[in-house]
Structure 1
C-alpha cells in the first residue's frame, strides 16, 4: 500500500514464522528499491522492530533502515535448491602473533564466525553449505579442529561440502577427513562430482595445489550432463577474471581458470573461489563463466578494501542458477 505521507514510501502487512501479523513500513528517507510478491517468503536483515500491548493485544511493527536488505526465499513449498557459500573462515586465527593479524582483528575469535555461518545456513533454510577452503588458519590447534567437527556433527544437520585451502595444514586435513569419513552429509569435494538435491546441483572441487592447478580434469558423468547446474569450487587467485567494469580483478597471474574449463567436457555454470579475502563477482574472460570470490566472513583483510564479512546464497531451479545474493555476517 502506498502512502500519502511523503516520508513513508509504502506500508505492507507481513506475517512472521510464528504467525504474528506485522506492519512493515518502508521510509522514503532510506532510498530503498524493493519489490515484494504477495505470498512469497523473505528474509529481512537490518530492520528495526518494536512491539506494544494495547487492549490486551500485542501489536508488532517493523521499520526500514538505510541498511535494510531483503532476500526472497520463494513461495512456500518452493523446491529450489539453496546453498550457502563461504570461504576462509580461518578457525584458529586467534593464535597468530599479534603483528601477523589484520588491523581490527587482533581480538578476533574465528570460532564464533564459523558458528555464525552454520546458524545463518539454518536461518536461511539452506540445503547445504559450500566451503571454498581455509576452514582453519595455519596455527589452528586441536581444540579448533574439535570445535569445527563438533559443529559439523551438531544439531544443525546441514550437509557440508568443502575443499582445502593453503592454510589448512596436514594435521587439520587428517583430523577432519578421519572424523567425518563415515558421516553422512559431510563431503570433501573432488574432480568426481557430488550431487546435491534431486540432481539439482553437481559440485566439483580442487584443493589448493600451489603451482599444480588445475590437476586432473573433472569427470564427466550422466549426473553432470543432466544436472541443473555444475559448480566448480577452488581456492586460489582467480585469473583472468573481470569485474563488472571490465577490468581484471587481480593483475597477478594466479590459477588460470581457463585451463580448468578447457581441459574438461563438463559445462561449468559457476566457479566459486576462496583465498582472496574481499568478496566480489566477476566473469571468466572469453568463456563468460560467472565467478564468485567468496571473501572472508571475518574482518581479516590486510589490504585497503573493506572485506565486508559475509556469505552468499546460491539459488538453483530447474532452469539453472536463479540468483546469488550476499548476506552480511
Structure 2
C-alpha cells in the first residue's frame, strides 16, 4: 500500500529508499546535542572557578553555583526571545553577551585545566594550585572580554594591501578598492558607529567600494537608522553590494532594494563595467551560497548569470560573501574574489572551527593558476559584542597591473 504524505513510513525513508530516523527523533537528537553542549559550556567554567578543589568558603561556592545555574536556565529563553519570532533586541543583547562571556570562560577553563594537569605532574603549586588557576582564569577572561568589547565597538583600523592582477590594464593600475563586510547592524544600536565608518571610508578616497554581505540582522525597516550612513559613502567608479547568508534569515530582497535606495549597485548575479584610462574591469557579484535553500524566488549563487555578456578578455573582480565560493570562481577563471563571512574567527579559538567550513579565514590567498581570494575579517561583529585576537577591518586593496610577489 502506498504511504500517505507525511506518514511515518514516508518520513522514515530517504529518497534512495534507505531508512532514516523519523523527523521527531531527529529533532530530539538535535535538541539533546544542543543541551549537552550548553551543559558543558557552563559546567566547565563553574567547575574551574568554584569547585575542582579551590577550597572557597561555602557562601562563595553557593553564590557561584546559583549564578551559573540561573545563567544556564535563562539562556535558552533569552535566545528564543531575542532571535525567535518575538525578536526582542533587549533579550538578544543579553543572550549574545552571555554566549560571548561563556565561550571565553570555557576556552580559558580548558587551558587552565591543562595547566593544572601539568603542574600536578611537576608537583608544583600544592594545596593552593586550583584556587590560583581559578583566579588566573577569571582575571584573564575579564581582561580579554573588556578588551574584546572595545575591539568590537570601535571603528575598525584600515588594512592596506596591494593586489597584483596580471590581466589588469595599465589605465586601472592603482585602483583603490575599499571593502566592507559583515557590518551586522543588529540589537545594539550602532548608528553612530555606522556614521564613523562611513567617514573613515570617505577619507580613503576610493575608486570602488564593496560591501560583501551580512549587512544586518533584522529587516531593512528595523535597521533603517543604522544602515542610513551607508548612503553617505562616496566612490569614483562604483559602490556595489551582494547578499550574505544573514540576509536570508530576514528580507534579502528588501536589503537589495534598501541598498539601491542608498545609492549602491546591488550585484544580484550580475555585473557592471568600470573603466579608466582606456582599460576596463568587470565588477561582478553573486548571491550567497545559501540563497537557493532560502526558497526566495530568483535567488541563488549563479556565476554564469553574473558574467553574462561580459568580455572574457577583461579581468574580473568577483564579490561573493563566503570564501568557499572560490572553487567556482577558480573554475570560472576569475582574477580576484573578495569575500567576508568568517570574521577572522571573531573570538579565539573559534577561527579553527571556521576553518573546517571555509578554505580561508582571513587575508590574501591563491587558488588555481589565476584566481586570488581576499577574505576580510569583517567590519562589525555578529552576536556577542566581542572580538578577541580577531580585529575588525576596513580594507583598502590597491589593484596593481602585472605580476607581483607570489601569494
List aligned pairs for 1:183-198, cutoff 5 A.
185-198=263-276
Give unmatched runs, 5+ long, in structure 2: 1-156, 163-171, 293-299, 345-360
The CA deviation at 1:216 is 4.4
2:302 aligned with 1:215: yes
Equivalenced residue count is 211
Task: Please give the alpha-carbon distance, in whole angstroms, between the structure 2 residues aligned to 1:225 and 1:176.
Answer: 32
Local SS of the residue matching 2:307: coil
Task: Please give the alpha-carbon distance, in whole angstroms, between the structure 2 residues aligned to 1:181 and 1:308.
Answer: 29
**Aligned twin of 1:230:** 316
Q: Deviations over 1:41-69 (max 9, x none)?
A: xxxxxxxxxxxxxxxxxxxxxxxxxxx99
Q: Deviations over 1:85-141 (max 9, x none)?
A: 1110001242xxxxxxxxxxxxxx44344323321221011123101110112x356
CA-based RMSD: 3.8
Task: Please give the alpha-carbon distance, in whole angstroms, between the structure 2 residues aligned to 1:177 and 1:128.
Answer: 18
Task: Please give the alpha-carbon distance, in whole angstroms, between the structure 1 residues aligned to 2:269 and 2:223.
Answer: 28
Give unmatched runs, 5+ long, in structure 1: 1-67, 95-108, 240-254, 324-329
Task: Please give the alpha-carbon distance, in whole angstroms, between the structure 2 residues aligned to 1:195 and 1:90.
Answer: 28
Gap change, CA 1:309 and 1:216, over 3 Å in 2: closer
Q: Work out whether residues 84 and 121 of structure 1, in 8 Å CA contact, stay in contact via their aligned partners in 2.
A: yes
Task: Please give the alpha-carbon distance, in whole angstroms, between the structure 2 residues aligned to 1:164 and 1:70.
Answer: 23
Q: Work out whether residues 299 and 308 of structure 1, in 8 Å CA contact, stay in contact via their aligned partners in 2.
A: no
Q: Deviations over 1:213-233 (max 9, x none)?
A: 75342425454523xx42111
Gap change, CA 1:321 and 1:147, over 3 Å in 2: farther
Task: Please give the alpha-carbon distance, in whole angstroms, between the structure 1 residues aligned to 2:265 and 2:310.
Answer: 20
Local SS of the residue matching 1:235: coil
2:355 aligned with 1:261: no
2:224 aligned with 1:145: yes
Task: Please give the alpha-carbon distance, in whole angstroms, between the structure 1 residues aligned to 2:267 and 2:289.
Answer: 14
Gap change, CA 1:70 and 1:193, over 3 Å in 2: closer
2:395 aligned with 1:308: no
Q: Which has the higher contact order (CA 8 A, sep 6+)?
A: 2
Task: Please give the alpha-carbon distance, in whole angstroms, between the structure 2 residues aligned to 1:316 and 1:193.
Answer: 18
Higher strand share: 1
TM-score, with structure 1 as normaliser: 0.53
TM-score, with structure 2 as normaliser: 0.44
Indicate which of 364, 368, 374 corresponds to 1:292. Answer: 374
List aligned pairs for 1:1-329, cutoff 5 A.
80-94=174-188, 109-137=189-217, 139-140=218-219, 142-148=221-227, 150-154=228-232, 156-158=233-235, 159-169=238-248, 172-179=251-258, 181=260, 185-198=263-276, 200-210=280-290, 214-217=301-304, 218-219=306-307, 221=309, 223=311, 225-226=313-314, 229-236=315-322, 238-239=323-324, 255=325, 257-262=326-331, 264=332, 267-278=333-344, 280-287=362-369, 289-300=371-382, 306-317=389-400, 319=401
Higher helix share: 2
Q: Deviations over 1:199-252 (max 9, x none)?
A: 5432111121328575342425454523xx42111122x34xxxxxxxxxxxxx
**Aligned twin of 1:49:** none
